[in-house]
Structure 1
Amino acid sequence: MPHDAVLLAAGGSTRLKRPKQLLTRQGTPLVRYVAELLLSTSPDRLVIITGGSDEAVALALQGLPVDICYNPLWNTGLASSIQCAARTLSGRDRSILIAGTDQPRLSLLHLLRLRDTLPANANVVTQYKKGAMGIPVRVSAATLAKAPEVSGDKGFRDLWADLPPKKIEAPELLEDLDTPDQMAEAVKAGWIDPPA
C-alpha cells in the first residue's frame, strides 16, 4: 500500500537522563533500529524528526535513505514534531506510518498490520490495553494536515477526535523507555543492551 513514514526522534529524554534514541539493541542505536523497521515497510519517503541530541542521532542514521528534519521547537512537546512532519509531507496524498524510538519490542509485523489495514484512508492506532492507545499509528494525509490544531504534548488523540481510529492490539508495546527503572527492566528482559 503506498505510504510515507515518519520517525519521531526529537525528544530530550529528560526523565531518563540520557538520549533514548541512542540506547542500543544488539549493538544498533534504537533510532536506527526503528528506522530500518520502517524502511522495511517500503515507504516512498521516511522522514526522521530530530531535536534533542540531533547531531548524534543524525550520525546514527548515516547511510540510510531518509530525510532528516530538525525540529527547532522540539522541547515544547510532541505536537511540534507532528507539525514538522506535516509540513515536510504537505501535499502528498497517502497514508503515513508514524513510530517513535522508545518501544524496543516494536516489530515489522506490527508495522505491516498498521500499514495494510483497510480502508487505506483510515486512521489506525496501537492499543496497548483497554483505554491505553498510542504510537505507532497510521494516519491519513487529511488527519496529518490537522497538525497545526494541536499544541504542547497533545498528539494524535486530538487529531481524530471526530472519527475514532481503528485499533490493532499490541500489549507488548506498553513497555517503553521513559525512566531509569523502565530502562533497567528492558535491559534485564534483553530488549536493549546494557548502557555503556
Structure 2
Amino acid sequence: MTGIIILAAGSSSRMGQPKQQLVFQGQTLLQRAMTAAARLTDVKIVVVLGANNLSIIPDVDSKRADLVINPDWEQGMGSSIKAGLKALLELYPALNNVLLMLCDQPFVDTALLHQLIETGLTGDNSIVACTYQNTIGVPVWFAKTHFDELLALQEQKGAKKLLMKYQQEIVTIPFEKGAVDIDSPEDYDGLLGANSPL
C-alpha cells in the first residue's frame, strides 16, 4: 500500500494569501494536487495543513484524503513530513512506501505520480525522485526502509537531506515543469499568463 502526503502547511508569506487556494484551470492548487493523487489506485492520501487551516479545510475532500493539522508547521517542512507519515502509519499500519508532494507545483499530474510509484515498486532502488533545473526534488517516492529517517528529519528541513545522502542510489525521472512552483504573486501571474487561452 502506498501513502501519499500532500504538504500544504506553509503560510505563503511571500504570496500574501494562502497559495493553497489559488485557482488554476478551474481548481485550487490544493484541489489539483488531491485530484492528481486520488486518480491513482491502491493509495491512501493525507493532506497536511498548518497555517490558515480553518479557511483551507473546506477544500479538503474527506472522501479522497485524510486531514492532518500540523500545529508545529512554523518549525518547517520536516515537521509536516513527520506529521503526515505518523498519521498514515497510525491509520494504515500496512503502509510500505510513501510519496511526498507539494500543493504548489501545478503541473504535477496523475501520470507522473504513477510513474514514480511504479518505478519504485518494480525496481530495486528505495528512492525515486524528479529532476528539473539540475536538481533532484519532489514529488519523491520512498520505500519503507526510509521511514525511520523520514520520522527523524529535523523540523526546519525537508527531505532534501535524504536526497543528498542517497543521491548515488536514487532513480530519477525528468520533470522539467517541476521547476514551476508558486511562491509569489509574480509566479502566479506568470503561471496564468503562460497558460491563458489565445
- Which of 166, 169, 172 aligns to 2:174? It is 169
Decide whether the 8 Å contact of 1:95 with 1:120 is kept in 2: no
What is the rounded CA distance, in whole Å, between the counterparts of 2:157 and 2:165 in structure 1?
16
How far off its partner does 1:105 sit?
1.4
What is the rounded CA distance, in whole Å, between the counterparts of 1:149 and 1:160 in structure 2?
14
Residue correspondence of structure 1 range 41-190 to structure 2 within 5 A: 41-90=40-89, 91-117=93-119, 118-119=122-123, 122-130=126-134, 132-164=135-167, 165-190=170-195
Decide whether the 8 Å contact of 1:9 with 1:49 is kept in 2: yes
Which consecutive unaligned segments of at least 5 residues does structure 1 have? 192-196
What is the rounded CA distance, in whole Å, between the counterparts of 2:4 and 2:62 in structure 1?
17
Q: Going by fraction, where is helix more abundant, 1 or 2? A: 2
Identity of aligned residues (%): 24
Runs of 4+ in 1 over 6 A off after TM superposition: none
What is the rounded CA distance, in whole Å, between the counterparts of 2:20 and 2:183 in structure 1?
11
Decide whether the 8 Å contact of 2:3 with 2:97 is kept in 1: yes
Per-residue CA deviations over 1:72-126 (Å, capped at 9, x if unaligned) read: 0011110000110221123434111221111111122111110110326621111
What is the rounded CA distance, in whole Å, between the counterparts of 1:148 and 1:138 in structure 2?
15
Decide whether the 8 Å contact of 2:24 with 2:192 is kept in 1: no
Counterpart residue number, 1:40 = 39
Decide whether the 8 Å contact of 2:76 with 2:158 is kept in 1: no
Code of the residue aligned with 1:35 in structure 2: it is M
Decide whether the 8 Å contact of 2:68 with 2:83 is kept in 1: yes
TM-score in terms of structure 2 length: 0.87
Decide whether the 8 Å contact of 2:60 with 2:67 is kept in 1: no
Which consecutive unaligned segments of at least 5 residues does structure 2 have? none
TM-score in terms of structure 1 length: 0.88
How far off its partner does 1:182 sit?
1.0
SS in 1 for 2:132: strand
How far off its partner does 1:154 sit?
1.6
Counterpart residue number, 1:194 = none
Give the total of aligned pairs: 189
SS in 2 for 1:146: helix
What is the rounded CA distance, in whole Å, between the counterparts of 1:110 and 1:51 in structure 2?
26
Moved more, 25-34 or 142-151: 142-151
